[in-house]
Amino acid sequence: MDLGLAPYGPESPPWFCPLKLLAYRAQGTPALASDIGDARKLVGEGGEVLPPGDKSAWISAARRWLGRRVTPNVRTWGDVVDEGLVGLVG
């Protein structure tokens, strides 16, 4: 896959399922995602977060990222638990 897309619309709830983004990042595929929920954190340096519904921004970003590879970012369940505990512990 050359480019992973998660083009959620502006009406999408902020608690969307991030599995698509995590799968793209784990395999080193650049990800383009709508700026909702935790998309910005999940995409990180491995792609771009864009305004929902802005077709010209999506087209421009796709042209910039097409054919590029990024460093795979694999998150384990341990990583997820650690991140969750940071908010609970001190």
In angstroms, the CA 25 to CA 80 distance is 15
pTM above 0.95, yes or no: no
- Per residue in 44-81, pLDDT tens? 899 999 999 899 999 999 999 998 989 888 878 787 77
End-to-end CA distance of the chain: 41
Cα distances from 71 to residues 43, 45, 68, 89, in angstroms, run 12, 9, 10, 30
**What pLDDT, in 10s, does the model give residues 5-28?**
999 888 877 666 778 888 898 899
Determine the pLDDT at residue 90: 54
**Residue 20: per-residue pLDDT:** 87
